[in-house]
Structure 1
Amino acid sequence: MTAPDRVCVGAIAGSFGVRGEVRLKSFCAEPEAIADYAPLFTEDGGRSFDITLTGAVKGGFAARLSGVTSKEAADALRGTSLFADRARLPSLPDDEFYHADLIGLAVVDTGGVEIGRVRAVLNHGAGDLLEVLGPGLKAPVLLPFTRAVVPTVDLAGGRLITDPPEGLIE
C-alpha cells in the first residue's frame, strides 16, 4: 500500500550496462526533474534510492541508484514503480491534478447522481481519459478529462462532476 503522501513519478525499465545502472522512465512533466525529487521510494516504502541521471536513452534515462551496484541488482528492479514524497513535488496550478489524486474519486453527473468511481487515468497520446467503473455500468467508461466533460474537480469533497457527451454513458 502506497503512503498517501507519495506520488508515482517513474519506473525502472531494467538494467543499463554492466555496472548497476538502470533504465529509468520518468512520468514527470519535465522528465529530468525526477532526480530532483529523490529520495524515491518503492511502492511499499521498503526501499529508497537517491538518483543520479547519467545520460539519455530511448524512452528515458540511464541512471545510477544508491545501493544498486551490479547488473543483477538492477535487473531485479525491472518493473518497480518509484514514488516521491508529495512535499518534494511542485505545487500545481488550479486546473492541473496529480493522477493519484483523481483515482478513487466519485464521478457524479450534473444532477448529482453517482455514476461510478475513477479507477485509472489513461493517456494514449490524445489527452487524459478517466476510466470510470460503477455498479450501473455494463463496462468501464472512458471519460475525456477535459473542462467541457469534467467541469468540476472537488478533491476536498472526494468527487468530480461530469457532463458527458450524449450517449457516452448508457
Structure 2
Amino acid sequence: MQKKYLEAGKIVGTHGIKGELRVQPWCDSAEFLTRFSTLYLEAGNVPVHVLSSRVHKELLLMVLEGVDSVEKADTYRNKVLYLDRSDVTLPDGRYFMQDLVGLDVYDADTFLYYGTLTRVLRTGANDVYQITAQDHKNYLIPAVPEFILGIDLEKGKMMIRPIRGIFDDED
C-alpha cells in the first residue's frame, strides 16, 4: 500500500536571522519543493504553511507561517518534511523513489527472482537501482528503459532485462 505522505526533505539549519529554514531535499530537486504551499511534519500529522521558498545552491530556503526569528527556526532543525502524494501529479513512467524501494525484481524473460530493490542512487545522468539478493549480495543496474521493462506498484514487482554478467559470472 502506498503511503499518503512521502518524505520530501530534512530541515538542516537556519539561514539569516528572520526565520528562514535550510532544507536538504530528498526528492528530485529543491526546485521541485518550491511548488508546495503546504508541507507536513511528524509523518504527515502536522501541516505547515509555506510563506515563501527559493533555491539556494542545492538547498531549499523556506519561510514557514509563524516562524519569524532564528530562535523559532532553530526549533525545527533536523525535522523531516513530508508532502502529500495527492498534491503531485507525476508524468507516465515516473515514480516516487519511496514507492520503488521494496519492489521484488524479476527477469522479464525467465521470471527468475533477483531480489529486492533496496536503494535508489542518484548519479546525475540516470538513477541506479541497488538490488539485494537473498544471499545479501548487492547488485547495481542503471534505471534506464533498456533494462527496466516494467514496474507494477500494485503487485510490488519490477521486471528487468539485466546486462549480461551482472547477476552471474559470465564475461
Q: TM over 0.5, yes or no?
A: yes
Task: Check 1:113–1:55 CA distance in 2 against 1; reply closer, same or farther (3 A cut).
Answer: closer
Equivalence for 1:22: 21
Q: CA deviation at 1:35?
A: 4.0
TM-score (norm 1): 0.82
Q: In structure 2, what is the equivalent of residue 12 of structure 1?
A: 11
Deviates more, 1:9-18 or 1:105-114: 9-18
**Residues 163 and 43 (structure 1), Cα distance of their counterparts in 2 relative to 1, 3 Å cut:** farther
Give the Cα–Cα distance (whole angstroms) in 1 for the partners of residues 55 and 43 of structure 2.
28
Unpaired runs of at least 5, structure 2: none
Q: Which residue does 1:62 correspond to in 2?
A: 61
Instruction: Report the aligned-residue RMSD.
Output: 2.4
Matched with 2:124 is 125
Which residue of the partner structure matches residue 146 of structure 2?
148
Among the aligned pairs, what percent are the same residue?
28
The AA in structure 1 aligned to 2:153 is L
TM-score (norm 2): 0.82
Alignment of 1:39-50 (within 5 A): 39-42=38-41, 44-50=43-49
1:1-29 CA-to-partner distances (Å, cap 9, x unmatched) read xx811223333231101222111244555
SS of corresponding position for 1:7: strand
Deviation at 1:161, TM superposition (A): 0.7
Sort the Cα spacing of 1:68 and 1:140 in 2 relative to 1 into closer, same or farther, 3 A.
farther
- Contact 2:43–2:82 (CA<8 Å) still a contact in 1? no
1:37 aligned partner: 36
